[in-house]
Amino acid sequence: MDLCKINDPSILKDMNKNQLEEMAEDVRQFLIENLSVTGGHLGANLGVVELTLALHKVYKSPTDRFLWDVGHQSYIHKILTGRGGQFETLRQYKGLCGFPKRNESEHDIWETGHSSTSLSAAMGMAIARDLKNEKHSILPIIGDGALTGGMALEALNHIGHEKKNVTVILNDNEMSIAKNVGALHGALGRMRSAGKYNRAKDDLEWLLKKIPAVGGKIAQAAERLKDSMKYFVVPGMFFEELGFTYYGPVDGHDFDDLLENLNYAKKTNGPVIVHVMTQKGKGYHPAETDVKDKWHGVGPYKIESGEKIKPADAPPAWSSVISEALRVEARKDKRIVAVTPAMILGSKLDKFGEEFPDRLYDVGIAEQHATTLSAGLATQGMKPFLAIYSTFLQRGYDQVIHDVARQNLNVIFGIDRSGLVGADGETHQGVFDVAFLRSVPNMIISMPKDENEAQHLVHTAVKYDDGPFAIRYPRGNAKGVNTDKELQTIPIGSWEVLKEGKDAAILTFGTTIDMALEAAKHLEEDGLSIRVINARFIKPLDDAMLHDLLKEEIPVVTIEEAVLKGGFGSSVLEFAEENGYTPWIKRMGVPDRFIEHGNVKNLWEEIGLTTENINKNLKEMIPTKKQRA
Ligand SMILES: Cc1ncc(C[n+]2csc(CCOP(=O)(O)OP(=O)(O)O)c2C)c(N)n1
Ligand SMILES: CC(=O)[C@@H](O)[C@H](O)COP(=O)(O)O
Ligand SMILES: [Mg+2]
């Protein structure tokens, strides 16, 4: 079947089992071929091929509302709803988004990227549906990993209480990105091994009713016996107790099982949970047999061998640089404990865990808990290092303020994926942390220019015992510079002049330093002398250097790969205002809108973060100085 030509999922309605199986095979081939070129979230999608086809066969999208939690597994839904022809552009600049997108299709009714939001949104939609007297089904599709997120549990609590018609499809592949963790994961495991229980439950209820109802203690004992029998026989009792009708466990690769259970679910009133067992990476040998992450998210690869196509001899990833520096510190300092909210592989903490198995905690998708847990550790004299993606720290903001900063606790935040991340797009760009952390009292915010400075900053953060300390680092590879043998502590709030100059100055940090140096070099050829300063501490600022600079009354350009509103440049402006200087400052950074997916270089161009623009801005400002004089 030509999957690029499908534009209406109702073609599935009349398909028999054989036809569905053939289509599932075609879809898998399509995904394996397309993603070998573009990269993307292969493992999760291969796991939900049959489930997605079955959902679209039993329900009618968009009348029935499909909410894909995280959304990284929505590729088959995209193919079925008219977007197969765009897969060559998947996650590319101006191409198909890797997550559900409302402006892409009427079938994408809920946008995701961050996990565990689907149940709350579904509940909101269910309340609206009932108030409007509408009749459609609402189907959040959530993974076992995403179910560990606190929001999902808050929503289950509410849905069960309100008894709303919401059909939760739980896609249980026993994986988050790495192996799923936690007690809930254990509970799901017991449900899986308890075997089938759905309509048989009616029979059980009937049987239990046969236990004679007698008065007093005997009656109480009989009730207790009934309850424990239920727990023993009924795998989904955990969900049943919360007010859900449980169907499962369902074989997520067997159309008979899927269709039968989904049809039952469709007819059931009130909250329903369909527990579907799937295999991440199903149908592609290299993914199926991968023990680490079942090819959760991949770049281009060779289809036959599964070999990943990567540039040879690239410097180490920034995450490795930081976690290696932390490992060095942890050997000397027993207070160090690493914490990750389900990103052990992305944050490259696996080796740390191998060396210090009792000093690494993967808490599941639980950023709020991870932050407050770190605060708890710090109160007891430990030195927690919370490795967290910038975008996911957004979820722990209250915990940063209320639990960590207010109590001025020694928590080190390793803010991974700071800056534009590229292919994951809007939901994942790490561009807000500078603005939202800068306003929090007691917070130190830093960003290294290369791996040498990174190791010194990690060392500095470990030695600093006066409150929270954030080290930002970007996605991708570090610079490949040599590193000093001896570790140094960098004075807090100190900047570094990378290039002297007297006509203007550029203040920048991290990823934009190279473009600033390049711009300065170009302008040198035009006879202009530009100073470039590594503002490695974003907070506190280097007050002394800034006073000296502003007294010179030369133009200043600030550059940051972070939002301009409330960002580093704004803090320089505030400093000028607070100290009575007339600001002569141009700020460059991320504008006040969400930045979509694409290659980071394209995105930089789109938002004007280029050497040419730095040159242009400086050239426009420098003559103004002469006019002033
Ligand atoms: C709030 C948040 N934290 C972390 C992530 C990173 N993340 C993306 S997918 C994923 C695992 C999700 O596991 P599951 O829901 O079981 O889906 P699967 O990939 O197994 O299908 C994680 C941790 C995220 N998207 N959102
Ligand atoms: C869907 C999701 O949130 C993650 O899988 C994310 O795509 C990981 O990004 P990195 O590749 O930067 O680890
Ligand atoms: Mg999973």
ipTM reported for the complex, 2 dp: 0.99
- Which residues partner with 12 through β-bridges? none
Residue 488 lies in a domain: no
Per-residue pLDDT, 218: 59
pLDDT given for residue 225 in this prediction = 54
Report yes or no on 128 lying in a domain. Answer: yes
On whether both 55 and 95 belong to a single domain, the answer is yes
Return the CATH number at 504: 3.40.50.920
Q: Which residues of 261-287 are buried (b: 16+ CB within 10 A; e: fewer)?
A: bbeebeebeebbbbbbbbbbbbbbebb
Query: Would you say residue 226 has pLDDT above 80?
Result: no
Q: Which whole number is the average pLDDT over 519-526?
A: 96
What is the average pLDDT across 196-212?
A: 53
Cβ 176 under 6 angstroms from ligand 1: yes
Residue 202 has pLDDT above 80, yes or no: no
- Please report the atom of ligand 1 found closest to the CA of residue 365: 3
Sort strands 530-534 and 496-499 into parallel, antiparallel or unpaired: antiparallel
Ligand 1 centroid – CA 443 distance (Å): 28
pLDDT of 518 higher than 70: yes
* pLDDT number for residue 198: 47
| 229 pLDDT more than 80 | no
Ligand 2 atom closest to Cα of residue 345: 13
Nearest to 108 by CA among 82, 134, 137, 87: 82
Residue 199: predicted pLDDT: 47
On whether both 189 and 223 belong to a single domain, the answer is no
586 is catalytic: no
Residue nearest to atom 4 of ligand 2 (CA): 297
pLDDT, averaged across the chain: 94
pLDDT at residue 219, rounded to an integer: 55
One domain for residues 383 and 518 = no
| pLDDT band at residue 210 using 50, 70 and 90 as cut-offs | low
The reply to whether 541 falls in a domain is yes
Query: Does residue 587 carry a catalytic annotation?
Result: no
d(Cα 541, Cα 275) in Å, to the nearest integer? 52
Q: 276 and 337: one domain? A: no
Verify that 282 and 138 share a domain, yes or no. Answer: yes
For residues 78 and 105, the answer to whether their CB atoms sit within 8 Å is: yes
Rounded-to-5 percentages of helix, strand, coil across the chain? 45, 15, 40
Taking the centre of ligand 1 as the mean of its atom positions, its distance from the CA of residue 184, in whole angstroms, is 15
Residues 239, 228 share a domain:
no
Query: Is 280 tagged catalytic?
Result: yes
Q: Is residue 252 a contact partner of residue 47, using CB atoms and an 8 Å limit?
A: yes
- Compute, in degrees rounded to 10, the torsion defined by CA atoms 487, 493, 499, 503: 180
Domain for residue 370, yes or no?
yes
Indicate the residue type of 610.
T
Domain end residue (candidates: 233, 250, 277)? 233
Per-residue model confidence (pLDDT) at position 546? 98
Average pLDDT over residues 493-512: 98
- Residue among 65, 359, 395, 449 flagged as catalytic: 395
Give the pLDDT confidence of 37-58 residue by residue, as tens digits. 999 999 999 999 999 999 999 9
Do 246 and 187 form a contact (C-beta atoms < 8 A)?
A: no
Please tell me which residue in 78, 101, 201, 280 is annotated as part of the active site: 280
Q: How many CB atoms lie within 10 A of CB 592?
A: 7
Q: Which residue from 257, 261, 278 is spatially nearest to 76, judged by alpha carbons?
A: 278
CATH number for the domain spanning 349: value is: 3.40.50.970
149 lies in the same domain as 180: yes
577 plus 592 within the same structural domain: yes
Of the CA atoms within 13 Å of residue 289, those in its CB half-sphere come to 5
Same-domain check for residues 446 and 462: yes
Task: Name residues whose C-beta falls within 8 Å of residue 491's C-beta, 6 or more positions apart in sequence.
Answer: none
Let me know if residue 435 belongs to a domain.
Answer: yes
Distance 238 CA to ligand 3 centre (A): 19
pLDDT above 90 coverage of the chain, percent: 90
Residue 387 shares a structural domain with residue 434: yes
98 is in an annotated binding site: no
Question: Is there a domain that residue 533 lies in?
Answer: yes
What distance in Å separates the CA atoms of residue 232 and residue 248, rounded to the nearest whole number? 15
pLDDT at 358 over 70: yes
| Interval between CA 119 and ligand 1 midpoint (Å) | 15
Neighbours of 177 (CB within 10 A): 22
Answer yes or no: is 193 within a domain.
Answer: yes
Whether residue 484 lies inside any domain: the answer is: no
Domain encompassing residue 588:
496-628
Q: What's the confidence (pLDDT) of residue 201?
A: 53
Does 72 show up as a binding residue in the annotation? yes
306 annotated ligand-binding residue:
no
Domain count for the chain: 4
Q: Are residues 30 and 57 in the same domain?
A: yes
For ligand 1, pick from 46, 49, 115, 175 the residue to mutate: most ligand atoms within 8 Å of CB: 115
312 — pLDDT class (breaks 50, 70, 90): confident
Q: pLDDT band for position 287 (50/70/90)?
A: very high
326 & 253 share domain? no
Q: Are 493 and 538 in contact (CB under 8 A)?
A: no
Last residue of a domain, one of 440, 472, 504: 472
The last residue of one of the domains, among 472, 488, 507, is 472
Out of 111, 324, 367, 451, pick the active-site residue: 367
pTM metric for this prediction: 0.94
